[in-house]
A and B are shown apart, each in its own frame.
Chain A
Amino acid sequence: MGNVLRDLRPLVAAPAATKPQCSSLSRSFHRATLRLQDDSKSDKPPSSSSTTYHEHYQAHSAEQDTAAAAQEDSTSDPAADQASRPNTSYQDQGGEQGEEYETEEQLQARILTAALEFVPQHGWSMEAIAIGAETLGLSSASTGMFYNGAGDLVLHFLAQCNSQLTDILAEQHNQVQLGQAERKKTADFLRDAVETRLRMLIPYIESWPQAMSILLLPHNIPDSLKHLSTLVDDIWYYAGDRSTDMNWYTKRAALTGIYNTTELVMLQDSSPDFQDTWNFLDNRIQDVVNMATTTKQVECLHQIALRRNKGVKR
């Protein structure tokens, strides 16, 4: 695919060299047809957008005979280009300065993020995606990109919530490392992490049962399980779990159980600010803690008994 796009470039760059006043138009076309080629190109250190644009354009046109003319164009045009860009849809929202080209995944992500706003009204459906695409200035036919339909929207929302949670947990972790915050006890940490994550569902709580049923469709189950396992793994990692034996599995299984049951309770909770749900969560976590304590106590007793037996034998 990269080769096909590279072949398109001579067609696009040639007019740019010959007609400087139309170069901004052809450069928009250029941008619309090109995609990010390598990850390595995007890893340049942040610099002012005009110089990066210059480097980009130079990299692409290096193989061409019109390189000299193209260089003149690119040095004179970035400022004009920025003024003449009709909308901000080509400007990167991910944080890297001067990223001119957007991948398909990034575009899909932007459409789905925009679509989330319309979910309370239209549910988790292609309609919401279509309206989201329209708010970005794209045609509603761009929903054709989403083969999984509503499933894409729900999975995108899951991924977004999980990465938000990871950012919050990482920030807390940094603060503890810097000594600016106290380290929480494991039970409290788990409780806060699950509560934070479940609170992200509150704006969509009316339609969440529909989302859950979408996630239970057979073709969505692998992805939803993957998101769930990543979520639980992240929470335990930041809670400080570094186990490398069966505890790795039991801890994650316990937390998965806690999370899923609390989510279900939240769906039919009508108390103010979901207080019943948080009480339920507290109780479940306390159960797990009690179970762990009891296991330890039984183990200790077992060790004591073993030692006593050895002593008697000798």
Chain B
Amino acid sequence: MHRAAHTALYDWSNILGPAMIRQCLNCRVPPQLSSRAYSVVPTPCDSEEKEMLDRMLRVDHAGEYGANRIYAGQMAVLGRTSTGPLIQEMWDQEKLHLSKFNEILAENRVRPTALLPLWNIAGFLLGASSALLGKEGAMACTVAVEESISEHYNSQIRALMERDPERYTELLQVIKEFRDDELEHHDTGLEHDAEKIPGYWLIKNAIQLGCKAAIYVSQRV
């Protein structure tokens, strides 16, 4: 069902593309900056906007990459248990998110964060160690991470809406859809006994603190 929603979204963004091209012709930007006519991200008007968009996309990409690795770590431990299919389903959605961001980064020539190897290892370790605490541990980790990511997406949506909702329509749609997916994961985690783990409050806050630090650093490095 999600895949159908995804394809519908991409078709819609293709139709809206030409309108956006007309809008962006107002900006004096060399045509080689965007390789495709249809793009989720509008061609930036000046270097300040380019920097802002670069930061947002870089940290979003890093976030999805990290989430991917967290689920991989959880699957490595809990893959053969009864929670396996559930985690696999959430992991598949994260893979879709990551591939979408890979596409956007490549199109807009955004530099990926240099800390990707760090997020690779840290994410896998976080996923694996939370899964070692059992199903509840894995779910608690999912709840914490998804809550951080949703909050982060919300603040990005607010920032874009403040600047110019019309200009960033397609990008806002993508971020909103991903945020809704992450909230769904969050709710799934809660449904599957995340709160039953002893020390839930401690684990959740520790993980969220780590996520905030990761987001801060990935925007800059």
Interface positions of A (Cβ within 8 A of B):
39-40, 42-43, 166, 170, 173, 233, 237, 242-246, 248-249
Contact = CB atoms under 8 A, between A and B. Distances in A.
Nearest to B61: A244
B114 A244 contact: no
Interface in B114-145: 114, 116-117
Chain B contact surface mostly: helix
Chain A contact surface mostly: helix
Given A39-B28, A233-B109, A245-B116, 16 more contacts: A43-B26, A166-B30, A170-B30, A170-B32, A173-B32, A243-B106, A244-B61, A244-B101, A244-B102, A244-B105, A244-B112, A245-B112, A246-B117, A248-B111, A248-B112, A249-B114
Interface of B: 26, 28, 30-32, 61, 101-102, 105-106, 109, 111-112, 114, 116-117
Contacts of B109: 233, 237
A40 B46 CA distance: 13
A246 B117 CA distance: 8
Contacts of A40: 26
Nearest to A177: B35
Contacts of A166: 30, 32
Nearest to A248: B112
B200 to A, nearest CB: 34
Contacts of A39: 28
Contacts of A248: 111-112
Contacts of B111: 248
Contacts of B28: 39, 42-43
B26 A246 contact: no
A246 B61 CA distance: 13
Contacts of A246: 116-117
15 contacts: A39-B28, A40-B26, A42-B28, A43-B28, A170-B31, A233-B109, A242-B106, A244-B101, A244-B102, A244-B105, A244-B106, A244-B112, A245-B116, A248-B112, A249-B114
